[in-house]
């Protein structure tokens, strides 16, 4: 790792100056922090504008409308069949990232032995990273600077958002696989408990119905039919067909006003999600931190923000040497690296709630996002140094 950092520093010295790297790494985080802090102030008791009910509605608006609009417009305009063949490693990278992070989580859980019942909790909160909202925010903040190292601001934003959106489906499936696994385990636990109280498994049909009930419970919540996934599929479907692309998605298309409307709505996603994230931190870690203990909390934060990105640098560097990453596309490689560096996904709270650990999950999310302000700055500096 030391040799990799030294080589990256030499490469960066030949390109963009170190002060420039520091600027490009710190300014996006600073912009994000300012908006998040505004949300924190709005949700604080003296102001009281952004109440819990308001944050909940804001999250729904982002998830159901603003984020899907951004994904559809940016991904649909950028995608083609040729680019799909070039971008195949983006979803593979997400899968490899989830597997490596989960293995790191398993190792950490075995070493620190978290208090019962937080063994799987530890693995989940290390294994599930935020590959959606936060990377989109950081890319947009970085590209907003006209002097950014990736070139034209509009192309930088469109390419970065398209790469991130292309992996949304796979990322969501991975997250909901965790949810599905826990939902099924919860059902099995309930049914076994009922079995002790009475003759539940009286027939073979009853045993067959267990996985069916499990699947029904999963599909009932529409976990695989969420708006961002639908927007990704729709964008890919329309974007790869020239007729539909020229009808809706190109600048001179007859129905481009639809896409332009989506672009306008999508631009509102970033301030809205940041205000919501900032507001959610107003309650602090609460009693969840006491239940987890300092050792478990520190281990999860360190593993998610340090160990997982180190593994990600190794994965991306290895596949780059194999020639799986398009040559000359530095934004592509930057996105791959960023996907390994994100804090724990807020959707991990869905997994935790199934096990009755909602307060503990809120505490971890609080601390991880606080320390991510510093870790992301460092990783962005390293990645830009490696690329330039």
- Structure confidence at residue 3 as a pLDDT band (50, 70, 90): very low
CA distances from 386 to 131, 161, 378, 380 (A): 21, 21, 12, 10
Query: To 5 degrees, how large is the angle CA 229–CA 230–CA 233?
Result: 85
Is the domain spanning 16-43+51-182+226-387 CATH 1.20.1530? The answer is yes
Mean pLDDT of 242-259: 92
CA-to-CA distance for 270 and 35, rounded, in angstroms?
A: 9
Q: DSSP letter string over 10-30?
A: HHHHTSS-HHHHHHHHHHHHH
Q: Which of 71-85, 223-237, 286-300, 368-382 has the lowest average pLDDT? A: 223-237
Q: Rounded CA gap, 298 and 314, in Å?
A: 23
Residues, the chain: 388
Predicted confidence (pLDDT) per residue in 348-382, tens digit:
765 666 566 767 887 888 899 889 989 998 999 89
193: pLDDT strictly greater than 60: no
**Is 343 in contact with 130 (CB distance < 8 Å)?**
yes
Summarize pLDDT for 195-206 with one digit per residue, the tens.
554 444 445 555
Q: Give CA–CA dist 210/183, Å, rounded.
A: 12
Taking 50 as the threshold, does the pLDDT of residue 324 lie above it? yes
Q: How far apart are CA 228 and CA 132, in angstroms?
A: 9
- Mean pLDDT of all residues belonging to the chain: 80
Model pLDDT, residue 208: 55
Mean pLDDT lowest for which of 218-232, 259-273, 312-326, 364-378? 218-232
Phi/psi-derived region of residue 317, left when phi > 0, alpha when psi is between -120 and 50, beta in every other case: alpha
Least confident of 24-38, 149-163, 261-275, 293-307: 24-38
* Alpha carbon distance 214, 253 (integer Å): 45
pLDDT of residue 209: 59
Tokens at 322, concatenated: 């194999």
Better pLDDT: 322 or 350: 322
At 342 the pLDDT is 92
Model confidence at 12, in pLDDT bands (50, 70, 90)? Answer: very low
Residue 289: pLDDT band by 50, 70, 90 thresholds? confident
Residue-wise pLDDT tens digits, 99-137 = 999 999 999 999 999 988 888 889 989 998 887 778 888
* Residue 337 in this model has a pLDDT that exceeds 90: yes
Distance from C-alpha of 374 to C-alpha of 368, rounded to nearest angstrom: 10
Task: Check the CA dihedral 263-265-271-272 and report its sign.
Answer: negative
Q: Of residues 145 and 194, which shows the higher confidence score?
A: 145
Percentage of residues in the chain having pLDDT higher than 70: 77
Report residue 309's pLDDT band, with 50, 70 and 90 as the boundaries. Answer: very high
Pick the more confident residue, 231 or 215. 231
């Amino acid at each position: 790792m030391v040799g990799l950092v030294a080589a990256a520093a030499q490469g960066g010295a030949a390109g963009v100056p170190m002060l420039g790297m520091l600027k490009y790494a710190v300014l996006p985080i600073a912009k994000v922090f300012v908006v998040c802090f505004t949300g924190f102030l709005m949700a604080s008791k003296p102001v009281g504008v952004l109440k819990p009910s308001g944050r909940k509605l804001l999250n729904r608006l982002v998830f159901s409308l603003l984020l899907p609009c951004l994904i559809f417009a940016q991904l649909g305009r950028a995608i083609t069949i040729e680019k799909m063949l070039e971008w195949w490693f983006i979803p593979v990278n997400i899968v490899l990232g989830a597997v490596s992070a989960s293995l790191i989580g398993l190792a950490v859980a075995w070493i620190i032995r978290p208090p019962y019942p937080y063994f799987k909790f530890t693995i989940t909160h290390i294994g599930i990273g935020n590959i959606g909202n936060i990377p989109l925010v950081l890319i947009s903040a970085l590209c907003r600077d006209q002097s950014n190292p990736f070139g034209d601001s509009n192309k930088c934003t469109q390419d970065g958002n398209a790469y991130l959106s292309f992996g949304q489906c796979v990322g969501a499936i991975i997250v909901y696989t965790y949810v599905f696994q826990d939902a099924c385990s919860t059902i099995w636990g309930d049914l076994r408990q009922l079995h002790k109280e009475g003759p539940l498994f009286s027939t073979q049909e009853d045993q067959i119905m267990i996985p069916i009930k499990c699947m029904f419970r999963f599909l009932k919540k529409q976990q695989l039919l969420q708006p961002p996934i639908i927007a990704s599929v729709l964008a890919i479907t329309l974007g790869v067909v020239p007729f539909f692309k020229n009808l809706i998605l190109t600048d001179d298309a007859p129905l481009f006003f639809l896409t332009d409307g989506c672009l306008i709505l999508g631009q509102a996603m970033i301030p809205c999600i940041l205000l919501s994230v900032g507001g959610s931190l107003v309650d602090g870690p609460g009693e969840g931190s006491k239940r987890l203990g300092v050792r478990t909390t520190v281990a999860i934060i360190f593993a998610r923000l340090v160990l997982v990105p180190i593994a990600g640098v190794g994965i991306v560097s290895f596949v780059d040497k194999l020639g799986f990453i398009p040559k000359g596309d530095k934004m592509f490689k930057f996105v791959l690296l960023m996907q390994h560096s994100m804090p724990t996904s807020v959707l991990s709270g869905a997994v935790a709630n199934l096990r009755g650990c909602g307060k503990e999950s809120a505490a971890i999310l609080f601390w991880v996002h606080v320390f991510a302000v510093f870790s992301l700055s460092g990783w962005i500096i390293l990645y830009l140094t490696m690329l330039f």
